[in-house]
Chains A and B, each alone.
Chain A
Amino acid sequence: MTSSTAHCFRLKNWAAWAPGLPDAESWLAWARGERQIGVDGEPAVAAMPPMLRRRAQRFGRIALESLYALPDDTSPIVFASRHGEVPRSVELLQSLASSGEVSPQSFSMAVHNATAGLFTIASKQVVNVTAIAAGRDSALAGIVEALGLLADGANSVRLILCDAPLPEIYADFAAANSSADAAPYSCVLALMRGDDFSLQTQAGVHLDNNEPGLALLRFMLGTATTQALSDGWQLVRNESTPFIHPAVYAGN
């Protein structure tokens, strides 16, 4: 690995799912600020066998729909989510408190890497999976992990960013100005070595967005030259990087 390229990458492919954005064109309109992510609805995840799909609740299904949208990709998976399966954990804790019993099935799916694991089982992909929860730095941590895998020799990496609204009981813990926290979404960014984008530290950069995952996706689909990913960290678009038109998208 050389220090000059280890922080650089290219977007090979992408897919995304959120309520109200059924196709790639609608995601591009969202990236231009012309459309908004909806509130209700969940994807069908029709590609997954029903006996495994039944294990996934709404958050998991949102993540799975994007993973299934790149069916031929068998690269390592970096699964980054700030809140993950917190709705399940709340259910389990409430059940434990009220009856002393918890659902084994739900417990088995409550760990942070469960959804990515379920996907690899269902799709029979024997691949590396890394699951990350790093607060509002989850997108940055996901990029760093993906860059590490690329530097270690992976030809490409699937970085999946996903989140869903926090349960009402945790409303006090949602970030201030939390409208972005209420947006359920998932996206898969297939990254490969290249010099289209570079991750840089930059004094004075301030993250003014509560959902850096969505900000990252918007940046990737747009033409802006920089995007803060955390305080002191930013992504920079190479001036010669052409606009990358999406090749695929997650269905509705």
Chain B
Amino acid sequence: MTPPLNPLVDEIKTLIIDSLNLEHVTPADIETDAPLFVEGLGLDSIDALELGVALQKRYGLSLSADSAETRQHFASVATLVAFVSANRTK
């Protein structure tokens, strides 16, 4: 469970909304621990690519396009927060 005060949580939720044009969604609508893809928020594979580009640009991460590890990082906002915290270069 991500500490509730971690500012990265809202930052990443906002990044998801902005980069994926989720005009009908607010950060409060996205559950931190819920699945992002297929279930939960209901994102698809194009969204995964889009989000990957946005995360690389914003935080200077390097991602391998299609690995089991990357899929784990993209499971939820909470896993993305942990991944970004540990690997960001900016």
- Listed in ascending order, the chain A residues whose CB lies under 8 Å from chain B are 50-51, 54-55, 99, 101, 103-105, 108
Is B10 positioned at the interface, with any CB of A under 8 Å from its CB? Answer: no
Is B7 positioned at the interface, with any CB of A under 8 Å from its CB? Answer: no
Given contacts A104-B46, A105-B47, A108-B46, whether A54 and B21 have CB atoms under 8 Å apart is yes
CB neighbours of A55 from chain B (8 A): 21
Is B61 positioned at the interface, with any CB of A under 8 Å from its CB? Answer: no
Min CB gap B55→A, angstroms:
12
B57 touching A105 by the CB < 8 A rule? Answer: no
CB neighbours of B49 from chain A (8 A): 104-105
Contact with A along B12-44 (1 / 0, CB 8 A): 000000001111100000000000000000100
CB neighbours of B21 from chain A (8 A): 54-55, 105
CB-based nearest B residue for A108: B46
CA distance A163 to B71 in the complex (A): 39
CB-based nearest B residue for A54: B21
CB neighbours of B22 from chain A (8 A): 54
Number of A-B residue pairs at CB separation under 8 A = 25
- 14 CB contacts below 8 A, A to B, read A50-B24, A54-B20, A54-B21, A54-B22, A54-B23, A54-B24, A101-B53, A103-B50, A104-B53, A105-B20, A105-B21, A105-B47, A105-B50, A108-B46
Q: How many residues of B contact A (CB 8 A)?
A: 12
CB neighbours of B53 from chain A (8 A): 101, 103-104
CB neighbours of B24 from chain A (8 A): 50, 54
Given contacts A50-B24, A54-B20, whether A105 and B42 have CB atoms under 8 Å apart is no
B23 touching A105 by the CB < 8 A rule? Answer: no
CA distance A55 to B42 in the complex (A): 14
Contact with A along B52-73 (1 / 0, CB 8 A): 0100010000000000000000
CB neighbours of A54 from chain B (8 A): 20-24
A104 touching B57 by the CB < 8 A rule? Answer: no
CB neighbours of B47 from chain A (8 A): 105
Min CB gap A87→B, angstroms:
15
Min CB gap A103→B, angstroms:
6
Min CB gap A42→B, angstroms:
12
Min CB gap B70→A, angstroms:
15
CA distance A1 to B14 in the complex (A): 58
CB neighbours of B42 from chain A (8 A): 51
CB neighbours of A104 from chain B (8 A): 46, 49-50, 53
CB-based nearest B residue for A102: B53
CB-based nearest B residue for A104: B49
Min CB gap B63→A, angstroms:
13
Min CB gap B13→A, angstroms:
16
Given contacts A50-B23, A54-B22, whether A101 and B57 have CB atoms under 8 Å apart is yes
CB neighbours of A108 from chain B (8 A): 46
In this complex, which of A50, A99, A104 has the most chain B Cβ atoms within 10 angstroms of its Cβ?
A104
The 4 closest A-B pairs by CB, nearest first: A104-B49, A54-B21, A50-B24, A105-B50
CB neighbours of A50 from chain B (8 A): 23-24
CA distance A104 to B63 in the complex (A): 15
CB neighbours of A105 from chain B (8 A): 20-21, 46-47, 49-50
CA distance A99 to B47 in the complex (A): 20
